[in-house]
A and B are shown apart, each in its own frame.
Chain A
Amino acid sequence: MPKEQDLANRPDNTAFTQQRLPAWQPILSAGIVIPGFVLIGLAFIGIGVALFLTSRSIQVQEFDYTGVDTTSSCYMCSSTNVPNCVCYVNFTLTTKFQGMVYFYYALSNYFQSHRKFGASRDYYQLSGDTTYFTAPLDVCIPFQYANTTPIVPCGLSANSLFNDTFKLYQIVNGTTKLVPFDGRGIAWWSDYNIKYQNPKVTPLKDAFKGTAKPVNWPKPAYELDTTDPSNNGFVNQDFLVWMRRAALPNFWKLYRRITDPDYVGGLPAGNYSIEITYNYPVISFNGKKRVVLSNVSWMGGRNPFLGIAYLVVGSLCIVMSIVMLIVYAKFKFPDDV
């Protein structure tokens, strides 16, 4: 045999280099997958049932108040262009609304997801950097300057802030009783605490000196909530909710929660009235405005789809396992166990 040193080029004879690593080599065949199909099927049916029942237990009340319809009380507001036009939506709850009730407004055919809508905002302003108060980013164009005064907050996103307001009244024996709303904690805590920051200037108004309010806004940013001084500027909850862009053209946005001690168990059955201050124009793009009352569960809002999907797929898996059983019985390989 040749000497060792003569075999300098000899490749290493290892399992790796010789491609002989121990391997698990499953062969997908009917016999093997039957238990898998059965297990997945059963599990999915279980999950599906749970989801479906949960979804059914969630109550949702939606009321369109766009006012396209002449019979609607908001028709007047929508057809004329009066600011702060007030209209009402009356409804009756036949059963009690369980748990904490969330009050949403919903817009349809509204494209917050448009690329330029999302881009048209100055994050440096919104994180409280006052140097950008005097010179907003160019992405805000054409809502960068009002004449020559810089707009704060600049951009389309802020400018298009939803400005309808709502009040919910319970009608008890002919008298109206205000259902107090809780406007705190409706925005993401990360937005409220980290992402959006007011300038570290007190009073807040001073920071906005030399800036203009967005064109569409009736009031500047530091006066958004007159009742609560801490709910102003860029950390205003309504503002934060609006600035978080909706993914789809038909969306809800959380307006308030009902946390009042009187209604802690939910809204009792009875007659209610929603007082709407109608400002936001949606007719121009065939949009729709709605108010939504809903309670939530662990799976979020009401959505029967997922439960049904789980049930269907689960059943399909069971069917597949039966098909596979037949196939297996007829075509099995000798090594299938």
Chain B
Amino acid sequence: MESDSRTGKRKGAGFFERRWKDVRVGDFVKVVSNEIIPADLLLLHTSDPNGVCHIETASLDGETNLKQRHIVSGLNTQDSQFEPEHFSYTVAVEKPNNNLNHFKGYIEKTDMKRLGFGTENLLPRGCTVRNTEFTTGFVVYAGHETKSMMNNNGPRYKRSKLECKMNIDVLYCVLLLFFMCLIGALGHYIWLESLPSMPLFLTPGSQGHLDPPLLSGFYMFFTMIILLQILIPISLYVSIELVKMGQIYFIINDVDLYDEETDSRVQCRALNIPEDLGQIQYIFSDKTGTLTENKMVFRRCSVMGTEYSHNDNAVRPSVLGEANDTEEEVIFHRSPQPSQTGWNLGDDHDPEAAQHRHHGRRPHSSVGRYKNKETGSSQGEAAFSSPLETEVVPDRKLLQCVLSSGGGDWVGGRWIGCSEATDLYLDFFLALAVCNTVVVSTANTAQAQRQRGSERSSHSVFQSPGDLLQTALTKMHSVYHTLHSWQPMIEEDVDPDHTPDPATSHGGHHSTAGGQTSHNSTQAQSTSTPKQCFEAESPDEAALVHAAKAYGFTLLTRTPESVTLRLPHGEELTYQVLDTLNFDPTRKRMSVVLRHPISREIVMYTKGADYTIMELLQTPSEANSLKGNHQNVAASTQRHIDWYAKEGLRTLCFAKKVLSERAYKDWSLRRQEALAAISNREELLMETAGHLEIQLTLLGATGIEDRLQDCVPDTITALKEAGIQVWMLTGDKPETAVNIGYACRLLDEGDLVIQMSTKDKVVCKSTLDCALEEVRQFEHSGGPGGMGGPEEPRLSIGLVIDGHTLGLALQSDLVASFLELARRCRSVLCCRVTPLQKSAVVTLVRERLKVMTLAIGDGANDVNMIQAADVGIGISGQEGMQAVMASDFSIACFKHLKKLLLVHGHWCYNRLAKMAIYFFYKNVTYVNLLFWYQFFCGFSGTSMIDIWLLIFFNLFFTSVPPIMFGVMDRDVSAEMLLGLPELYRTGQGSEGYDHLIFWIAMLDAFYQSLVCFFIPYWTYQGTDVDIYTFGTPMNTVAFFNIMFHLAIEIKSWTVVHWVTMLASVIVYFVVTLVYSAVCISCNPPSNPYWIIQQQMAKPMFYLVCVITTVIALLPRFTYRVLSNTLVPSPLVRARHLERLDTPIRDQ
């Protein structure tokens, strides 16, 4: 794209104000602080001397933290005044695409040198400039080509299962109409043929004789279509839309689905599928942020092969009032289980490693942690940078170790008098503090931004100071205490033997006090200076930085070139940041290359997933050259990591590497080339990163707890009872996933758990077959009790499968047996799956098993899955708004799913199903009256009911009660539905609406219309009754019949029901009477003048109405009574139970 020097927006010399729509590619745009960026800009100049611009991307991805963007490196635009006139380079960018996290291009200078740039140089449209006075950019994409617009592909149209079925039945109605019209046409033809000669009552044509019967019959076919077209329930579609609106009104107004914490209700983004909520058979859930809170708490760490259990963090909730420390004790006293063969992460080409195995009984205590309920004071926290969330109580021994190691003199960048090992301790915390992309902002600016920002984030601002005050007040005593006892306490608690389970009740008590002390000392520091806020890209990073802070390693500022730390003894150290190798999902690690300010040593700190780091460690021979036994460190750290994973903690490994000046220079050159590359830049960058990230020295590992959300186990249990299969799809490792699985009761103790982890297809196939065989045997051994088939196995089966194996299993030749196996499992856990695999699994299950699927997730990685499923639910959590934007419904937390499905889903489905059936019935009943009459008017298409009354009938007289029925009828109360999740199964089996029910309704409609026609017919035949006098009682009979039919179907009569029903009756009579009194000759040829009045004066009218209604409804009524009594459905039983409950509840 050729740059031209047109100027864009104003502000400053040469800039003038323009509308957004006038911004074109190639313009220069200057944006001042707190303005929204109008187009995708390439950052060229900012007011910041370092060339950094902060933006808030909340409107794009919902993340409220600030992100840094840099000016294109190598471009000397930062000095003094930026003059667009002097910018005469060629800018080339890739084609517009919708990938928010991918952008590349280059600037070609006049000397043909190319400068590469990427996402870190892009200011995407829709974001807000923060903390930067002004910034100037070059428009690379404008209008619909911008990233945010490309991502906005509008809501996907989903059609509900019920509506799909209904559409088929509408087709049947069309077919029925066709046949009825055919009968009419044939009848007319035969009738005409049977006339010996031209009768008096027929209108001759212009030639004085009739049209040929065949032609008349042909015409009559179309006349019949016009007459009988009400058979096709067009009104049904309108009514369904109205009903869905009503249903959604009730869903979003449910106070139980309101989350006080975030002040958000459930959102229905798709208005047309509320009834699908009642038919879900499979739930696919994300783990992080969905089942878990995604509020990371630093729980444990292992440094140099020694485990520090941080018991105090575990005890914290009990300090706040939740007494569950006994359970915590149990967890930590539990000795680590021997590592399991099934967890083999390396190559497991031997089938045995991939062999499934029976899980033994697990100590129940491992699920105890989910009870760590947030107490009132922490309820208001929205961001993870709020004080209580991030408060880390340092482990006493580790703190002591750090302090003592720092006790030496600081000379030449080394702590003299310390061993190599303690130096590594410090390195560990340095890595914690610096190896990240956390931006430090002071509380003031953060507050100011948040106030300008979304309501939600301003919420936390109001909260924080109050909390601080409260915390300070309640802890005054301990502060006082510690001022006097700080030093002695440390000394008296020295315990040189660190074991993985060091906590005793004695130590635990003391450490509580100690921990709070240190917390308060840091707190005091931070309140004296402006309060710091760590703006992290992921909650893990924030948790780690806070952990480092708790040990005295406080991150003070970060710029692209430097990072400043405060060390435990108060020194401030500014490291030069040479390079940052950002995290990417393939490498699963990030590194920061620093130059030590004093020793000028180049150090690289790396953090990442354990298995990637472990592979990159120094080989033993090299390690041996160093002092100490690193092999042992690696082994014990790995052991600790495995153990953390088993407890459901997220693990990260930290490593360091000291680089020689030359090595770094060499690497740096290659890095620059890679950065400038336009084609396969990503690969090159990854490759260069790979070159540097080798031969690392392990520092330690951390375990971060990802707490389960409120009531997750209860919800999962209820969903499983409701007959829903719950799958968990997560990118985490199997150990973590299985642990979370047990914690949230996806897996139960005593479940048969099949684990599949292999990289070989043959192994995968044999494992699948083997597992399937075993499952079948397992079911058979269930004995005669297991007659329920795969739906009701006696013992439930869980399947754990990892991404690799899943990829193999999804291949076309294995997919059938995989699904066969998965179908029989009550829960499936897929670990290490990519977003694409998530959606592939969902699509596969949805299409191959023909089941209703629901996907729930909160992150951008769940978007595919959410869109692939029949119902997509987004959790408006912390991972941004992308999932919510893609979803059909968004809820605030996972527990809301229970009521949304079990209550609203059931209601919506049942109501809509019944209403749809009723509409079919209603139209067929009514239209058939006209059809039967054709047999008595020579199939000439005469209607014996006035045409306006015919239209009013559907439009006014009988429209409101069914809609009200569809919106408000309550077959079983919410309490009952929540208490008996089994009731949900009626919806899964489509018991509310299937073709059998439809045809029964049709038969009933035919029967009722026959009754409604022939009772009046036999009553009035052979008399001087005229056509509309004949039609009026029939219309009335049909009206009452249809109303009483609805009355039989209505399960609960509230005021609204009574009012609408009675109002309909009143409207019917008032409108008919008024119309008959007013319309003298307004509507020839019917002219219903005074007919109903005449009729209503005669007793016969009433007698006919009464008996016809009774005869017409007797079969349905009797059927309902007998089926309710003889073979009551679960719903009827629940209603009886409910009635039984009421007096008990009242007492």
Q: Interface with B: A116-124, A220-228, A265-273, which one? A: A116-124
A17 on interface, CB distance cutoff 8 Å: yes
Q: Which residues of B contact A8 (CB under 8 A)?
A: 263
Chain B, range 994-1027, C-beta contacts under 8 Å to A: 1015, 1017-1027
| A118-B1027, A306-B1107 as given contacts; A194 in contact with B941, CB under 8 Å | no
| A115-B942, A285-B196, A306-B1104 as given contacts; A248 in contact with B936, CB under 8 Å | yes
* Cβ of A311 to closest chain B Cβ, rounded Å: 11
* Cβ of B903 to closest chain A Cβ, rounded Å: 9
Kindly state the separation between the CA atoms of A7 and B380 in the bound complex, as whole angstroms: 11
Nearest opposing residue in chain B for A193, CB measure: B1090
Q: Interface with A: B32-40, B202-210, B306-314, B484-492, which one? A: B202-210
Contact B968 A19 (CB under 8 A): yes
Chain A, range 182-213, C-beta contacts under 8 Å to B: 188, 190, 194-195
Q: Which residues of B contact A331 (CB under 8 A)?
A: 1125-1126
Kindly state the separation between the CA atoms of A278 and B1122 in the bound complex, as whole angstroms: 61
Kindly state the separation between the CA atoms of A156 and B210 in the bound complex, as whole angstroms: 14
Q: Which residues of B contact A1 (CB under 8 A)?
A: 376, 379
Q: Which residues of A contact B1140 (CB under 8 A)?
A: 334-335
Contact B1026 A245 (CB under 8 A): yes
Q: Which residues of B contact A281 (CB under 8 A)?
A: 200
Q: Which residues of A contact B1018 (CB under 8 A)?
A: 305-306, 309
* Cβ of B972 to closest chain A Cβ, rounded Å: 9
* Cβ of A196 to closest chain B Cβ, rounded Å: 9
Contact B203 A328 (CB under 8 A): no
Contact A246 B1024 (CB under 8 A): yes
Contact A254 B1024 (CB under 8 A): yes
A300 on interface, CB distance cutoff 8 Å: yes
Contact A190 B1090 (CB under 8 A): yes
Q: Which residues of A contact B264 (CB under 8 A)?
A: 9
Kindly state the separation between the CA atoms of A156 and B936 in the bound complex, as whole angstroms: 19
A113 on interface, CB distance cutoff 8 Å: yes
A22 on interface, CB distance cutoff 8 Å: yes
Nearest opposing residue in chain B for A1, CB measure: B376
Contact A116 B1027 (CB under 8 A): no
Chain A, range 281-330, C-beta contacts under 8 Å to B: 281, 284-287, 298-301, 303, 305-306, 309-310, 313, 316, 320, 324, 327-328
Nearest opposing residue in chain A for B257, CB measure: A11
Which one of A13, A19, A24, A306 lies within 8 Å of B250 (CB-CB)? A19
B586 on interface, CB distance cutoff 8 Å: no
| A121-B1085, A251-B1023, A254-B1024 as given contacts; A284 in contact with B940, CB under 8 Å | no
Nearest opposing residue in chain B for A324, CB measure: B1121
Nearest opposing residue in chain A for B249, CB measure: A17
Q: Which residues of B contact A195 (CB under 8 A)?
A: 1080-1081, 1087, 1089
Kindly state the separation between the CA atoms of A303 and B1025 in the bound complex, as whole angstroms: 13
Chain B, range 1013-1043, C-beta contacts under 8 Å to A: 1015, 1017-1031
Contact B201 A160 (CB under 8 A): yes
Kindly state the separation between the CA atoms of A228 and B1017 in the bound complex, as whole angstroms: 37
* Cβ of A100 to closest chain B Cβ, rounded Å: 15
B1139 on interface, CB distance cutoff 8 Å: yes
Kindly state the separation between the CA atoms of A303 and B1081 in the bound complex, as whole angstroms: 32
A219 on interface, CB distance cutoff 8 Å: no
Which one of A17, A27, A115, A244 lies within 8 Å of B1132 (CB-CB)? A27
Which one of A123, A156, A253 lies within 8 Å of B201 (CB-CB)? A156
| A194-B1080, A300-B1100 as given contacts; A2 in contact with B1122, CB under 8 Å | no
Interface size range on B against A? 35 or more
Nearest opposing residue in chain A for B1091, CB measure: A190
A333 on interface, CB distance cutoff 8 Å: yes
Contact B208 A27 (CB under 8 A): no
| A27-B1135, A29-B1125, A142-B203 as given contacts; A309 in contact with B197, CB under 8 Å | no
Q: Interface with A: B680-688, B865-873, B1053-1061, which one? A: B1053-1061
Kindly state the separation between the CA atoms of A156 and B1024 in the bound complex, as whole angstroms: 20
Q: Which residues of B contact A248 (CB under 8 A)?
A: 936, 1017, 1020-1022, 1025, 1030
Q: Which residues of B contact A299 (CB under 8 A)?
A: 1099-1100, 1103
Q: Which residues of A contact B1138 (CB under 8 A)?
A: 25
Residues 1035-1072 of B, flagged 1 when their CB comes within 8 A of A and 0 if not, give 00000000000001001111111000000000000000
Q: Interface with B: A73-81, A90-98, A104-112, A169-177, which one? A: A104-112
A38 on interface, CB distance cutoff 8 Å: no
B1118 on interface, CB distance cutoff 8 Å: yes
Q: Which residues of A contact B150 (CB under 8 A)?
A: none
| A142-B205, A284-B199 as given contacts; A40 in contact with B1052, CB under 8 Å | no
| A194-B1080, A250-B1021 as given contacts; A120 in contact with B1099, CB under 8 Å | no
Which one of B907, B1054, B1081, B1136 lies within 8 Å of A27 (CB-CB)? B1136
| A9-B265, A111-B940 as given contacts; A24 in contact with B1027, CB under 8 Å | no
Nearest opposing residue in chain B for A109, CB measure: B199
Nearest opposing residue in chain A for B1141, CB measure: A335
Kindly state the separation between the CA atoms of A237 and B199 in the bound complex, as whole angstroms: 24
Contact B1053 A25 (CB under 8 A): yes
Q: Which residues of A contact B1118 (CB under 8 A)?
A: 320
Contact A250 B1022 (CB under 8 A): yes
Kindly state the separation between the CA atoms of A121 and B464 in the bound complex, as whole angstroms: 85
A70 on interface, CB distance cutoff 8 Å: no
Contact A23 B1052 (CB under 8 A): yes
Which one of A7, A142, A188 lies within 8 Å of B208 (CB-CB)? A142
Nearest opposing residue in chain A for B1093, CB measure: A190
A52 on interface, CB distance cutoff 8 Å: no
* Cβ of A128 to closest chain B Cβ, rounded Å: 11
Nearest opposing residue in chain B for A156, CB measure: B203
Contact B379 A113 (CB under 8 A): no
Kindly state the separation between the CA atoms of A333 and B1103 in the bound complex, as whole angstroms: 36
Q: Which residues of A contact B1025 (CB under 8 A)?
A: 246-248, 251
* Cβ of B976 to closest chain A Cβ, rounded Å: 11
Chain A, range 1-50, C-beta contacts under 8 Å to B: 1-3, 6-13, 17-19, 21-31, 33, 40, 44, 47
* Cβ of A9 to closest chain B Cβ, rounded Å: 5
A249 on interface, CB distance cutoff 8 Å: yes
Contact B1023 A114 (CB under 8 A): no
Which one of A22, A113, A127, A245 lies within 8 Å of B938 (CB-CB)? A113
**Subset of 10 A-B contacts with CB under 8 Å:** A17-B254, A27-B1136, A28-B1124, A104-B1024, A113-B937, A119-B1085, A142-B206, A300-B1098, A306-B1019, A320-B1118
Interface residues of A, Cβ cutoff 8 Å to B: 1-3, 6-13, 17-19, 21-31, 33, 40, 44, 47, 51, 104, 106, 110-121, 123-124, 126-127, 139, 141-142, 156, 160, 188, 190, 194-195, 216, 244-254, 280-281, 284-287, 298-301, 303, 305-306, 309-310, 313, 316, 320, 324, 327-328, 331-335
Interface residues of B, Cβ cutoff 8 Å to A: 195-206, 208, 223, 250, 252-255, 258, 260-261, 263-265, 376, 379-380, 459, 462-463, 907, 933, 936-938, 940-942, 944, 968, 970, 974, 1015, 1017-1031, 1048, 1051-1057, 1080-1081, 1084-1087, 1089-1090, 1094, 1098-1100, 1103-1104, 1107, 1110-1111, 1114, 1117-1118, 1120-1122, 1124-1126, 1128, 1132, 1135-1136, 1138-1140
Q: Given contacts A2-B263, A29-B1125, could you give 15 more A-B pairs where the C-beta distance is less than 8 Å?
A: A12-B253, A24-B1054, A27-B1124, A28-B1121, A141-B206, A194-B1089, A244-B1026, A245-B1027, A253-B1024, A280-B200, A285-B197, A327-B1126, A333-B1128, A333-B1136, A334-B1140
Shortest 10 CB-CB contacts between residues of A and residues of B = A247-B1030, A285-B199, A23-B1052, A113-B937, A190-B1090, A21-B1054, A17-B253, A115-B940, A11-B253, A115-B942
